[in-house]
Amino acid sequence: MRTSIRIVTAACAAIAFHGAASAQAPRFEVTVDPKARATPLTGRLVVVVSKNAQPEPRMIVAPQGPAVFAIDLDQLRAGQAAIVDSKTSLGYPMPLAQLPAGEYYAQAIVNVYEPIKRADGNTIWVHFNDGTQEVMQIAAGNIYSDVQKIQVGRGGTVKLRIDKVIAPSPRPQNTDWVKYVRIHSPKLTAFWGRPVYVHATVLLPKGYNEHPNVKYPTVYTFGHNVPFGFTPDSTNVRGLGQISPVTGLETGYDFYKSWIADGFPRFIAVSFEQATPFFLDSYSVNSASNGPYGDAMEQEIIPELEKQFRMIGKSYARLAEGASTGGWQTLALQLKHPDFFGGAWVLQPDPIDFRRYQLVDIYSDTNAFVLPNTQLTTTERPFRRTVEGQVAWTLRQLSLFEEVLGTRGRSNYQLEGWEAVYGPLDADGYPKPLWNKLTGTIDRSVANAMRDNGYDLRDYAQKNWDTLGPKVAGKLHFFAGDMDDFYLNLAVYRFEDFLKGTELGKNVPFTYGRPMKGHAWHVMPWAELVRQMGAHVKKNTPAGDDATAWSY
């Protein structure tokens, strides 16, 4: 959700830090050592300025982190200086000219782009990998400088030399319980014009090797690393035997003890890495920017897993569960593939009704940043809050932060991640912004395209309910905290209002955490949720299938 560099407008100045501005802003001169990159370089150059040398400034880039100043690079030659100053750069949380005087530590990093010619005929410049989830700071192939102590307020030039290349992170190793699989997708490869993979982490049940003739139901978990935080190692695990008062969850080791206990449902559990050039997750749906991930999941990835592992390859034995990003895609998969999945546990999902795109109604509001007051005053819309209602940062701040990290939808951050999943393309093949990241002005054509193409899941369900309702009856389960950090509960309420007005949807369970339950809240420990899933599979096993073999 991420065009050349634009200078901060007056509309953005409202979020700038209004402390004592530097009398003379620094000028950064950044060069690339040929040992780090010998060929011309295209990408996003980000200079990070922090009050602390450790952790490295690049590693803590975040909306509440250090200051960042950035420009686009277009075929920069090795040894050629790139200038980041108050005229060329876009800055967060303030323009470079307003950085207060004082002592800082600076570091430069480049998110390296390469040209990708997609099947739709567009050639775009993006950072591309094999589907592994990597943020810019650790993405293989990106390049960066040492940390350098600087003094702001005296003007002058700060020279930074980029001479380090980020190496690929080693993939995790298989264990007796957990297997790591990389699956090639011909559909995604055809779309992107180069090999594309989806990584799966497979958690096996107790007795898998001892019962070679038994097949198992599968729960596809979206948003976990190892499913349910499973770990057989109690070393350094805190809170053993306790349920977290914040999340409602047990430790990964306590879940392991349940997983191997007598009488516990024997499932295979799978999580995924399916990063795209625009975000850390594809959301498991087909999209104009990311390609046919929905088709790939149903027709390639899951069938391949069912071949490699002894899974019951039938709808009643395929369940989906996910929170946040995973919550949205869990619901999307169940609604868009109703005959393929047999149940969905949807936890605090990303917006599932775009009349509450967090706090924005993208169909009627004209500006994302401010409430539509009738007088001269304006009220900023928050993006994140604490469970007590304290605003952590605003939508205007996050939008500017993302624009600094990457133009043309390439920030690899949340708002532009959504735009890459839900939205149409611009004239050059990049995700078309839902709103201007500097002014907040909403593009109604983008909002309507998101809805008309089926990404507003409430609207999609409502339009298709006559045929969809009977197929998902008894399969949907919703959960949300009433003080979700990102206001995601508001769209869940809207979805509930729709379902309660239908005959087949009026009994769908919606469970809300009250009082003051935030984004991390879960209604029950993982072990209890898996027991619920086991009962669901047994209840829905067709006559003639053995509903007990896998529950030895």
**348/547: higher pLDDT:** 348
Taking the C-alpha atoms of residue 462 and residue 469, their distance in angstroms, rounded to an integer, is: 9
As a whole number, the mean pLDDT across the chain is 94
Taking the C-alpha atoms of residue 275 and residue 273, their distance in angstroms, rounded to an integer, is: 6
Flag whether pLDDT at 21 surpasses 80. no
Taking the C-alpha atoms of residue 406 and residue 384, their distance in angstroms, rounded to an integer, is: 21
Q: What is the DSSP string of 198-220?
A: EEEEEEPPTTTTT-TT--B-EEE
| pLDDT confidence of residue 12 | 41
Q: For 82-89, what is the mean pLDDT?
A: 97
| pLDDT confidence of residue 551 | 84
- In tens, the pLDDT along 229-250 reads 999 999 989 999 999 999 999 9
- In tens, the pLDDT along 253-293 reads 999 999 999 999 999 999 999 999 999 999 999 999 999 99
Three-state secondary structure call for residue 35: coil
Per the document, the length of the chain is: 552
Flag whether pLDDT at 7 surpasses 50. no
Flag whether pLDDT at 11 surpasses 70. no
CATH topology assigned to domain 178-353+457-551: Rossmann fold (3.40.50)
* 134-139 long-range contacts, CB within 8 A, separation 24+: 134/169, 134/275, 134/280, 135/280, 135/412, 136/46, 136/61, 136/109, 136/111, 136/405, 136/412, 137/58, 137/59, 137/61, 137/109, 138/166, 138/169, 139/111, 139/166
Flag whether pLDDT at 13 surpasses 80. no
- In tens, the pLDDT along 466-482 reads 999 999 999 999 999 99
- How is the chain split into domains, by residue range? 10-165, 178-353+457-551, 359-452
Taking the C-alpha atoms of residue 538 and residue 547, their distance in angstroms, rounded to an integer, is: 5
CA nearest neighbour of 439 among 474, 479, 396: 396
| pLDDT confidence of residue 498 | 98
% of the chain surpassing 90 pLDDT = 91
- In tens, the pLDDT along 330-376 reads 999 999 999 999 999 999 999 999 999 999 999 999 999 999 876 77
User: 498: part of which helix (H) or strand (E)?
Assistant: helix 489-500
Flag whether pLDDT at 8 surpasses 80. no
| pLDDT confidence of residue 432 | 98
* CATH architecture classification, 10-165: Sandwich (2.60)
What φ, ψ does residue 170 adopt, rounded to 5°? -65, 140
187's CB contacts (< 8 A; 6+ apart) are 291, 292, 295, 296, 299, 300
CA 549 → CA 99, 177, 212, 346, 545, distances in Å? 66, 20, 12, 28, 10
- In tens, the pLDDT along 425-451 reads 999 999 999 999 999 999 999 999 999
Read off the DSSP letter of residue 515: T
Q: The whole model's pTM is what? A: 0.93
Flag whether pLDDT at 154 surpasses 70. yes
CA nearest neighbour of 542 among 214, 316, 218, 337: 316
Taking the C-alpha atoms of residue 467 and residue 34, their distance in angstroms, rounded to an integer, is: 60
Poorest-pLDDT segment among 151-155, 337-341, 390-394: 151-155
Taking the C-alpha atoms of residue 464 and residue 454, their distance in angstroms, rounded to an integer, is: 10
| CB 3 within 8 Å of CB 281 | no
Taking the C-alpha atoms of residue 193 and residue 148, their distance in angstroms, rounded to an integer, is: 40
| pLDDT confidence of residue 552 | 75
| pLDDT confidence of residue 23 | 57
Flag whether pLDDT at 14 surpasses 70. no
Q: For 114-132, what is the mean pLDDT?
A: 97
Residue-wise burial string across 358-372, b where 16 or more C-beta atoms lie within 10 A, e elsewhere: bebebbebebbbbee
Q: For 53-82, what is the mean pLDDT?
A: 97
Q: Is the peptide bond before 277 cis (omega within 30 degrees of 0)?
A: no
